[in-house]
Structure 1
Amino acid sequence: MTKPVLYDFFATWCGPCKMQTPIIEELAKTLGDAVEIKKVDVDENMELAEKYGIRVVPTLIIEKDGKIVQTLEGVTDAATLEKLLRPLVG
């Protein structure tokens, strides 16, 4: 069974993205290796941002088995993220 992937689409100039980063880091500690976390700088990865239709940063996308399970725009708290990811972690 594949583990879920959390994409964190951000930009270095984005204030809310700077607020999201410690939340993601805390989540990584809580869930450990059960979730793969990929940080994606939209300015350096425009093709990937386009592929996922990113219009707002931060945007978090949760993917499982290659399918998008959830898209979250704006800063999202750790409790919400954990609630969405836990059922996907086998």
Structure 2
Amino acid sequence: MSKFGELIDLEIPVLLDFYTEWNEPSTAMHPVLKDVAAAIGDRGKVIKIDVDKNEELATALRVKGLPTLMIYKKGEMVWRQSGEQDANTLIGIMKEYF
């Protein structure tokens, strides 16, 4: 978990995508998140977290639906949503925290 703390304790917004490879809505988000990462550049980070490989973290954060997206800034969760989102929406939300 200390590694997770380092990931989210940044001055820039960090978008976390909790997903699995077998969940269709999760895999549908892959190209969307690439677009988001390209659009925000170094002003933010996009990190994918495989729930099957990080069950303890997913449980601690009460991830139930997939995909679950969260934005952290300076160690605090500032936004959370389950389900598919479009790139423009995510880019807009990320820009609020630049």
TM-score (norm 1): 0.94
What percentage of residue pairs aligned between the two structures are identical? 35
Q: How many residues align?
A: 89
- 1:6 equivalent in structure 2: 15
* Separation in structure 2 between the aligned mates of residue 55 and residue 66 of structure 1, nearest angstrom: 21
- 2:4 equivalent in structure 1: none
Give the 5 Å matches for 1:37-48.
37-48=46-57
Matched, 1:23 2:32: yes
Give the 5 Å matches for 1:1-90.
2-89=11-98
- Secondary structure (helix, strand or coil) at the match of 2:96 reads helix
Runs of 4+ aligned structure 1 residues displaced above 4 Å come to none
Q: Which residue type is aligned with residue 37 of structure 2?
A: A
Q: Which residue type is aligned with residue 49 of structure 1?
A: A
Q: Which residue type is aligned with residue 51 of structure 1?
A: A
Task: Specify every segment of 5 or more residues in structure 2 that has no aligned partner in the other structure, as ranges.
Answer: 1-9
* Separation in structure 1 between the aligned mates of residue 41 and residue 92 of structure 2, nearest angstrom: 15
User: In angstroms, what is the RMSD of aligned CA positions?
Assistant: 1.1
CA deviation string 1:16-35 (max 9, x = no partner)? 11111100000101101111
